């Protein structure tokens, strides 16, 4: 089965490929020659995921899923949330985003946060939504060089290491995206039996 993952992010693509069954041939936007920057104009993660998946399905006529992920920090009233990728500006620079977030949390005791991933799937003419959440805390500094985005400053509950320090297979097993993709994978397995 071929399925498009509406992303230009090679890190995300690789992470998701490791989580889906081998029977699914995962295609990126590059693979289908889609080089458009699909605007994320939704006010929620779910809306942004739907916008991207619908664009691919309507433009290319292909089954597709898209995700949107946000880091929601309690002390910042749920920010950066839907603006996580461009928190420090439209350049979408992870280092800038982490620096801004750490600066805004300076001196704050409550460092609780959670990552949430929302997935929108267009499959055989129907739409489906899956999500995944992982709770944790924001560290006071960057630790580890693994992962991407905010991973070096997010320490999941029950762990002493950040997502940036954890081995990829451990991170994938407990992460927000891993949990959402697991729901997607189970759904697709049942559809392909």
Q: Which residues belong to the active site?
A: 68
Percent of residues in the chain assigned helix, strand, coil, to nearest 5: 35, 25, 40
Torsion of CA 2, 3, 9, 12, to 10 degrees: -100
Using alpha carbons, list the distances in angstroms from residue 181 to 26, 96, 144, 188: 13, 28, 24, 10
Quote the distance between the C-alpha of residue 39 and its chain's center.
16
Neighbours of 145 (CB within 10 A): 9
CA–CA distance, 91 with 187 (Å, rounded to integer): 35
Is 134 in contact with 156 (CB distance < 8 Å)?
yes
């Amino acid at each position: 089965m071929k399925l498009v993952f509406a992303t230009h992010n090679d890190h995300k693509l690789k992470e998701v490929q490791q989580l889906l069954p081998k029977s699914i041939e995962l295609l990126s936007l590059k693979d289908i020659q889609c080089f458009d920057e699909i605007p994320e104009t939704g006010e929620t993660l779910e809306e942004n995921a739907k916008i991207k998946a619908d664009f691919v399905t309507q433009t290319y006529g292909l089954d597709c899923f898209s995700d949107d992920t946000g880091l929601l920090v309690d002390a910042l009233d749920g920010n950066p949330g839907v603006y996580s990728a461009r928190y420090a500006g439209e350049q979408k620079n992870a280092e800038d985003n982490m620096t801004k977030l750490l600066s805004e949390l300076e001196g704050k005791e409550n460092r609780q946060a959670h990552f949430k991933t929302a997935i929108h799937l267009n499959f055989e003419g129907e739409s489906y939504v899956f999500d995944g959440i992982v709770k944790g805390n924001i560290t006071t500094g960057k630790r580890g060089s693994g992962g991407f985005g905010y991973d070096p400053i997010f320490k999941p509950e029950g762990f002493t290491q950040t997502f940036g320090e954890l081995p990829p297979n451990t991170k994938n097993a407990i992460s927000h995206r891993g949990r959402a993709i697991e729901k997607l994978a189970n759904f697709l397995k049942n559809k392909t039996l």
